[in-house]
Chain A
Amino acid sequence: ETGVTQTPRHLVMGMTNKKSLKCEQHLGHNAMYWYKQSAKKPLELMFVYSLEERVENNSVPSRFSPECPNSSHLFLHLHTLQPEDSALYLCASSRSGTAGETQYFGPGTRLLVL
């Protein structure tokens, strides 16, 4: 257990559905991250929040919408996704989001878009 939990662990959705991924960290960290991991590709950083403010948005399509209501919770809202969005979505947290510190990852949500 890394202190970062993600729900649901598995999700199957159609292209017209709306769903949300949830992440919670119990480590007292101030930065949280969403990553996308596709087969045979490196982890892609999607969003970074530091002290609840979005500080990074790596050209992610608008069908992905993050929300960080407080420093312990992070959501990824999904809307009209494409089959190529099927991947493992990983949430991570770190103490401050700066200085290249260690990141603590959740177990991920395996998403399949039909």
Chain B
Amino acid sequence: SQQGEEDPQALSIQEGENATMNCSYKTSINNLQWYRQNSGRGLVHLILIRSNEREKHSGRLRVTLDTSKKSSSLLITASRAADTASYFCATWGSARQLTFGSGTQLTVLP
């Protein structure tokens, strides 16, 4: 069964604005990862947050994890046109495989 589910499915913002994407999942996890995919290409790992962590930062990225609500959010601050891509959350849990959501398509308008 599908584990991660991103929200919204699509997001369009102006350059310089912040973009927030959410991920919800169903069962307990060991870690949650965010990946980015430019159109028709491979996925690139952005950040990994473990189940005992609540927040992590990497450059303009901020990820939060709320295990009580089984949800995570990815915030991209001061967005740029080059941030236009699909963003996926992926969970690792008892199934012992990374399970991906359907992704959020982010468009940053110049």
Interface-lining segment among A11-19, A36-44, A66-74, A78-86: A36-44
Q: Are B43 and A105 in contact (CB under 8 A)?
A: yes
B contact face: mostly helix, strand, loop, or mixed: strand
* Interface set, chain A 38-58, CB cutoff 8 A to B: 40-43, 45, 48, 56
Enumerate chain A interface residues (CB-CB to B < 8 A). Answer: 2, 4, 6, 40-43, 45, 48, 56, 88, 90, 92, 98-100, 102-108, 110
CB-defined A-B contacts under 8 Å, sample of 26: A2-B42, A4-B42, A42-B4, A42-B99, A42-B102, A42-B103, A43-B43, A45-B97, A45-B98, A88-B40, A90-B42, A90-B43, A99-B30, A100-B31, A100-B33, A100-B98, A102-B45, A103-B43, A103-B98, A104-B45, A105-B44, A106-B42, A107-B42, A108-B40, A108-B42, A110-B40
Enumerate chain B interface residues (CB-CB to A < 8 A). Answer: 2, 4, 30-31, 33, 35, 40-45, 48, 88, 90, 92, 96-103
On chain A, the residues within 8 Å of B31 by CB distance are 100
Q: Please measure, in the bound complex, the distance between the C-alpha atom of A100 and the C-alpha atom of B73, giving whole angstroms.
A: 19
On chain B, the residues within 8 Å of A106 by CB distance are 42
Q: Are A56 and B45 in contact (CB under 8 A)?
A: no
